[in-house]
Structure formats: C-alpha cells, structure tokens
Amino acid sequence: MADVSSVSSHPVTPEKHEFVKAIGLFDGTMIVAGSMIGSGIFIVAADIARQTGSPGGLLITWILTGILTIAAALSYGELAGMFPHAGGQYVYLREAFSPLWGFLYGWTLFLVIQTGTIAAVAIGFARYLGVLFPSISPNTWVIPPVNFSSHFAVSLSVQQLVAVLMIIFLTYLNTRGVRLGKWIQNIFTSAKMLSLLGLILICVFVARNASAIADNFTHLWAVRGANWIEPGLGFLKGIMPTVTAGSGWYGLLLALAVAQVGSLFSADAWNNIGFTAAEVKNPKRDVALSMAFGTVIVITLYCLANLAYLCALPLEQIQHAPDDRVATAALSAVYGAKGAWMMAIAIIISTFGCNNGLILAGSRVAYAMARDGLFFRATGKLNDKGVPGIALLYQGIWIVVLILLRTRKADGTYGNLYSNLLDYVVFAALLFYVLTILGIFVLRIRRPELERPYKAFGYPLVPLLYIVAATGIMGVLLLYETQTAGMGMLIVLIGLPVYGWWAWRKDAAKGQA
C-alpha cells in the first residue's frame, strides 16, 4: 500500500499506484540546496546593506540567518523521523496540534508561500534570460494590461510568457516521475553551487578591490547610508522611536531584525525535502540528514558570498547596485558587459534548478491535504508514474494565475501581485516554523511512545533558541512592518472558513457513506 501521509488516526482509502522510493541522501541534499538557492543571494545584499548600514551589519545578518536556519533544520529532524510521510510540515503540525493547524499551513503554502515563490523565481528566470535575449522584455506585450479594478489588472508580456512556459515545462517533466525530477535537480543544483563558488572565488581573487577591502573592514561597524526604520502604525509613532542602525544598540537590533526578511526568505525552502519523505529510500534517517547537510552547505556559501561582495565592492556600491544586482556589479567591475552575461547565465541555471525542486516538493502537500479530505479529491491520487500528477497540475495553474495578475500603481505602471503577497507571508512563514518547532515539545509530552530515530540536536536549548529568536523577529515586524505582517496574518485567517467548508464536506461524505 502506498504511503498515505497519515497515521492511524487519519485513515484513507488504498491507492491504485504507489510512491516510488527513489530519493537517496545525495538526492535529498540536492533538493534542499537547490530549493534554497534561487536568485535572492545575488540581489538581497543591497537591501540588507541599506537596512544595516555597515559591512559588519551585512555579515552578521547572514550569520544570524544561518544560526536560525540551521537550528530549525536540526530541530525538524526529529519530526521528520517520526512522520516519514508525504506532506512534511503539514503532517507535523497536524499531529502536534490539530488538522486545523496543518490545513492553515498547507493553505498558506499553496496560496502564496510555495506558489508565489515559484512565480517570482520564474519571472527572475525570464528577466535574466532577457539579458541574453533582449526581445524577452516586460514591456513587449502579447496581451496588453487589462484593468479589472482600480488596483488590479491582468497582462501577458513576453517576459511573463517565458515564465509561464517555464512553469508548464517543469510541471510536465515532474509528472513523468520522481526519478526524472531528481536527476534534473541533481544536475542543476550541482551547476548552481559551482557557479556560486566561482562567483566567490572571482570576487576574492580576481575582482579583489584593495581600497574596498580597506574601507569595509577597517570601518566594519561604521554606519553610513542606513534606512530609517519607523513604526508601522500612526499611534505607535508617539511611543516607539524612529531609528537607524546607527542609533545605538536598539537601532542595530531593529535593523538586524528587519533585515532578516530578505535573508531568511533567500534561505527558505530548506524544509521541502520533508514534503517528499514518502519517496525517500530511508526517510527516517535521510530526510533529517538531507535538511542538515543541505542547509549547512547553502548557509556556508551564502556567508562566503557576502564576504566576497565586500572584497570586490565598497559598501556604497553594494547599497546602490543597479536594480540591486550586487553580484552583477561585482563581475562587471572586472569583466564589463561580459560580467553581466556571466551572471545572467549563472542565475538562469540557478532559478531553473530552484523551481524544479519547489515544483516537485510543493505538490506533495496538496496531495497530503487531499488524502485527509481537506483539498480537492483528485489531488490525492498518484498517476502511473507514482507522482501526484493532478496536484502538480493544480499547482501549476495557480502559479500561472499569479504570474498573469498585476497590481496597478499610482503612477500608472504595473507591479506583480505575487511580489506583494510574498512580502506579506514572511511573517506567516516564521509563525508556522515557530509552531512546528514548538510541536517537538508538545509531542514529547503527549506522545512519548512514538519512535524517534533522530532526536532534535541540542534539545531543549537549540529548539528554544529558534523559538525565542524567531518570535522576537516577528514582534519587530508587527511593530515596524505592521501592514505586511498584518496582511500575512489575514491570509492565514482567511483559511479558517475555508477549513470549515472542507471539514463540512468531509463530514457530509462520511454521513452519506
């Protein structure tokens, strides 16, 4: 019988087809690393440098992100060993708390976190492909913007078309079986890791800028050009101070917390291997190890990359890199226009591999929800290749919708809806990570009899470290990024009536049976 993404308290019907256990430890590590490395590492350093205002602030932001991410990955290993089923974090929350909490996570993941990220990465792929082929433009229309309200529109530019074709292509490839999906992942993740390592070596040894190194590291904590950080609600402005990273220790802490939005988002998706646990050959061991190995590798590369940027560019150039393309600016300083091409090719490879991993893994959560009667029934079935083909299809359709939907700005230009949504759900994603790690403590009390092939590293201190630090960051976001944090909570809360509807349907189906 196939893995049913559930324990005995959540019975489901047998399946015609079964998951194929084809993912080994190396494959799992490549899924983790490949899903984490997209285009963020090449771009977000500019925003972080503006928020923290110093070379030391830039570096410590990534170090803090690394500590948090590795702490979370080491903690998740215990849950992964206990519940080696398709769905990963959805299952962990369901078993630790209730089906409602699992659904709210799965709902937010499908609506924005996974699909919005895939849409953003697809547009990034098309944007950098446009560096090589200028006809791939965001302003060349196949279908010009059609306004359907004062704030929203739908359009299809050549750039959007390329992004849509990428989604269709990768979705189709992943319906052909997990073996094909993992080989694509292995090849592209290896290539992107080598590209990132090459960028680091070039910045340190070829693009090395003696004056930039002297300025950045001699004045490691000297704050310059830092953004002001002000409370998010009017009534708070009379209570909470408006600060910069240079406003003493309080300002520095706030700046580091706000800067975590970009760095944590760039380091996200380390948990995706848990979604595919039913296809891992030795899930009780390899899911946890894949999370740990993949996360450590990526965080090490990320920290080295930012150190390398500081070896190649003065802080001011990092803060004001054209279109925030810090990596491109570093290579262009040595190779001119060829540097932009080199970076574009590296990001094209990176984004393609990133989306393959995200598409492969994300569909397994919709599958698990459907097996519990909390999503469209068809998404809970496997095709003849042993993958949730319909779940992949539904996921792909929603990603395409997110790519096509646009926001209308006051100046008459158009933005991307998924970009706004991703800003909103950073807070929600942190909330679910905190709840999931809290679930380790809950399950040790409520269900001590469950087998735990791997126990959370450093328990209880390491899990508590993550809970306290992440909760602190959420508190800062609520006070200083109130609109985005509040909208993230709204997206989660909208899931409450949706859950009620699915639960009613499930109960009605049981009554008819």
Sequence spans of domains, the chain: 25-376+432-507
Contact 258, 229 (CB under 8 A): yes
Q: Which of 12-16, 26-30, 81-85, 111-115 has the lowest mean pLDDT?
A: 12-16
DSSP state of 280: B
Report pLDDT for 236: 75
List % helix, strand, coil for the chain (3-state, nearest 5): 70, 5, 25
Report pLDDT for 14: 57
Answer whether residue 119 shows pLDDT above 60: yes
CATH class given for the domain over 25-376+432-507: mainly alpha
Average pLDDT over residues 367-381: 96
Q: Is 382 helix (H, G, I), strand (E, B) or coil?
A: coil
Report pLDDT for 234: 72
Average pLDDT over residues 131-140: 93
* Residues found in the chain: 513
Report pLDDT for 13: 56
Sheet containing 152-157, strands listed edge to edge, beginning at the edge strand earlier in sequence = 141-147, 152-157, 405-408, 414-416
Q: pTM for this one?
A: 0.92
Q: pLDDT-derived band of residue 424, with 50, 70 and 90 as boundaries?
A: confident
- Write the CA distances from 252 to 60, 66, 242, 260, 263, integer angstroms: 11, 18, 12, 12, 16
Contact 373, 505 (CB under 8 A): yes
Residue with tokens 């080295």: 304
Share of the chain above pLDDT 70, in %: 97
Answer whether residue 1 shows pLDDT above 50: no
Average pLDDT over residues 97-116: 96
Residue pLDDT, tens place only, 298-323: 999 999 999 999 999 999 999 999 98
Q: pLDDT-derived band of residue 413, with 50, 70 and 90 as boundaries?
A: confident
Question: Which residues, other chains included, contact 36 with Cβ-Cβ below 8 Å and sequence gap of 6+?
Answer: 266, 267, 268, 269, 270, 294, 295, 298, 354
